Structures are given as structure tokens and as C-alpha cells.
Amino acid sequence: GNSVTQMEGPVTLSEEAFLTINCTYTATGYPSLFWYVQYPGEGLQLLLKATKADDKGSNKGFEATYRKETTSFHLEKGSVQVSDSAVYFCALYSGTYKYIFGTGTRLKVLA
């Protein structure tokens, strides 16, 4: 079946450090891939998405490239800020109206 695997957290970085959060998936066909962010006590916000192989999604300095050959969608940011502290979820949609979420990766950025 379809699944999403994220690197476990928490990830703790200093401000302005480079961020990578790994995400790999298993799916039949050609899924769409998403990154959602959840700030403490809040709901999920769509951060970025990619709908086909080699697409790059980007938003607020974050980016992720849909790599079909490695079935990956790693999230990156060149310089994190304290305000980026949150839980990040990788998700997959394969056309059956069910979104499959990873378990989330907590990011903590220290000033």
C-alpha cells in the first residue's frame, strides 16, 4: 500500500543553519506530494507541493523536488529562523481522496 516515511525528530538547529528533512514514499502510479507545517496549537498549513516528477515546490524559502527515481521529496531551507520552529509533515495523494501523512518531524531553531 501507499506510505510515507519521514526522518525522526526532533531536529535542533541554530538560526541561519541549513535544513534538510528527509521524506521518502511508496506509491503506485504518480502521486502528488506535499509538505504541511503545523505550528504549536494550530492546524496544518500547506507549505508546498509538487504534482509530477522533477517538479520543484517552493514557498517561504523552503523547497522540495519530486524525485521519482529515488521516491523522495526532501524538504530544504538554506537559512532557518526561530519562527520556522514547528512540526513538518510530508504527505502523499495518489488519487483515491485519501492523503497519507508521515509521522511528522519536529524542528526546533535556537537563536
Partner 1 sequence: NAGVMQNPRHLVRRRGQEARLRCSPMKGHSHVYWYRQLPEEGLKFMVYLQKENIIDESGMPKERFSAEFPKEGPSILRIQQVVRGDSAAYFCASSPTEGGRGNTIYFGEGSWLTVV
Nearer to partner 1 by C-beta: 7 or 44?
44
What DSSP line would sit under 64-103, residue for residue?
EE-BTTTTB--EEESS--GGG-EEEEEEEE-SSS-EEE--
Cell of 10: 526532533
3-state secondary structure of 108: strand
> Alpha-carbon distance 8 to 48, whole Å?
20
Nearer to partner 1 by C-beta: 34 or 73?
34
Q: Does 43 engage in binding with partner 1 (CB under 8 A)?
A: yes
Q: Tell me, by CB under 8 A, how many residues bind partner 1.
A: 23
Binds partner 1 by CB under 8 A, chosen from 63, 89, 92, 107 = 89
Q: Does 7 engage in binding with partner 1 (CB under 8 A)?
A: no
Task: Using CB under 8 A, list all residues that contact partner 1.
Answer: 4, 30, 32, 34, 36, 42-46, 49, 51, 89, 93, 95, 97-104
